[in-house]
Amino acid sequence: MKYPKTLRIYCKYCKKHTLQDAEISKKRPRGSMSIGQRIFKRKMKGYGSFPKENPGKREKSTRRVDLRFKCKTCRKFNLHGRGFRVKKLEFVRV
């Protein structure tokens, strides 16, 4: 999918529409102290295998892409929406 590199969208820091550069946000490692990970570790304790059935058969073929937009005036990052599912993303200059 082709997506524009620069967009004119609302910046919550400048409180107006500005030109912003789009980039894909990198995946971070899961927080080991989050409540979900603590529950999962407790559930895995004593098990020889995965505690739930493996979701491999119903897995989605694409991953959700999260975009971050960097404002050109205040240089801060903005997030808009939850992103979208796409196999390949290409940024184009418009």
Report the predicted TM-score, pTM, of the whole model to 2 decimal places: 0.70
- Average pLDDT of adjacent 10-residue blocks, the chain of 94 residues: 95 96 88 89 71 66 90 94 91 91
Cα-based distances in Å from 23 to 17, 31, 70: 18, 23, 8
Second-level CATH architecture of 1-26+62-94: Roll (3.10)
Q: CA-to-CA distance for 92 and 7, rounded, in angstroms?
A: 11
Residue 20: Cβ-neighbour burial (10 angstroms; 0-12, 13-18, 19+): buried
In tens, the pLDDT along 16-33 reads 999 999 999 888 888 889
The β-bridge partners of 61 are: none
Q: CA-to-CA distance for 3 and 68, rounded, in angstroms?
A: 13
Q: What is the DSSP string of 49-76?
A: S-SS--TTTT--SSEEEPEEEEETTT--
Would you list the domain boundaries of the chain?
Answer: 1-26+62-94
In tens, the pLDDT along 62-71 reads 888 999 999 9
